[in-house]
Amino acid sequence: MKRIAVFPGSFDPFTLGHDDIVKRALPLFDHVIIAIGVNASKKYHFPLELRMEWIGKVFATEEKVSVKKYEGLTVDFCRGNGANFILRGLRSNVDFEFEKPIAHMNTAMANEIETVFLVTSPELSGINSTIVRDIIKNGGNASQFLPKEIEI
Ligand code: ADP
């Protein structure tokens, strides 16, 4: 059986922190699906299609990575895509406390799907999509926090 992981998130925008998690996950899995969650009640800064296009550019030559969008439960998306793993990144104890009940509830709903956490590389743990968006909204240059393929 192929080891397929889903990396769910908003990726608004996709940063070097996200990139690091995906690259470090590649030796662990046969395929990583970067899955952009679409939540009707949540406001996003960058349009969905642009976020997908950027991620597609970053992994254009990496056959083991694909990008998809989804609505609804992450576990349902995993089942629909034959994935047995949910991948998430941990920057701090705050991330851990946020992620823990989600992982427990996902396990309660789908016992066959394991959540796997990778700890962020220390030099990237300060990167946060919210702050990157604020820099961009205020006319700053956020390129040092973004993969080179993403030019904003
Ligand atoms: P969400 O809205 O679901 O939190 P994000 O796009 O903010 O989506 O984050 C997606 C995943 O990437 C989460 O697991 C988050 O912890 C992780 N992540 C975000 N920033 C970083 C970073 N700098 N380094 C590593 N992981 C990160």
Active site residues: 18, 42, 91, 129
Determine the atom of ligand 1 nearest the C-alpha atom of 128: 20
- Of 47, 28, 25, 30, the C-alpha closest to 38 is 47
Alpha-carbon span 87 to 65, nearest angstrom: 13
pLDDT of residue 79: 98
Exposure string of 108-147, with b = 16+ CB inside 10 Å and e = fewer, is: eebeebebebbebeeebbebebeebbeebeeeeebeebbb
Ligand 1: residues within 6 Å at CB? 9-11, 15, 17-18, 20-21, 88-89, 91, 95, 120, 124-125, 127-129
What sign does the CA torsion over 115, 1, 61, 80 have? negative
Q: Give the pLDDT confidence of 82-123 residue by residue, as tens digits.
A: 999 999 999 999 999 999 999 999 999 999 999 999 999 999
Structural domains present in the chain: 4-145 (3.40.50.620)
Residue nearest to atom 3 of ligand 1 (CA): 9
Average pLDDT, integer, range 10-39: 97
Q: Give the pLDDT confidence of 44-54 residue by residue, as tens digits.
A: 999 999 999 99
Sheet holding 85-90, edge to edge: 65-70, 31-37, 4-9, 85-90, 114-119
18, pLDDT greater than 90: yes
Q: Give the pLDDT confidence of 51-66 residue by residue, as tens digits.
A: 999 999 999 999 999 9
Whole-model pTM: value is: 0.96
What is the whole-number distance in angstroms between the Cα of residue 18 and the centre of ligand 1? Answer: 6
Q: Give the pLDDT confidence of 123-152 residue by residue, as tens digits.
A: 999 999 999 999 999 999 999 999 999 998
Residue with tokens 């999509």: 129
What is the whole-number distance in angstroms between the Cα of residue 94 and the centre of ligand 1? Answer: 12
Average pLDDT, integer, range 72-88: 98
What is the whole-number distance in angstroms between the Cα of residue 19 and the centre of ligand 1? Answer: 10
Instruction: State which amino acid sits at residue 50.
Output: L
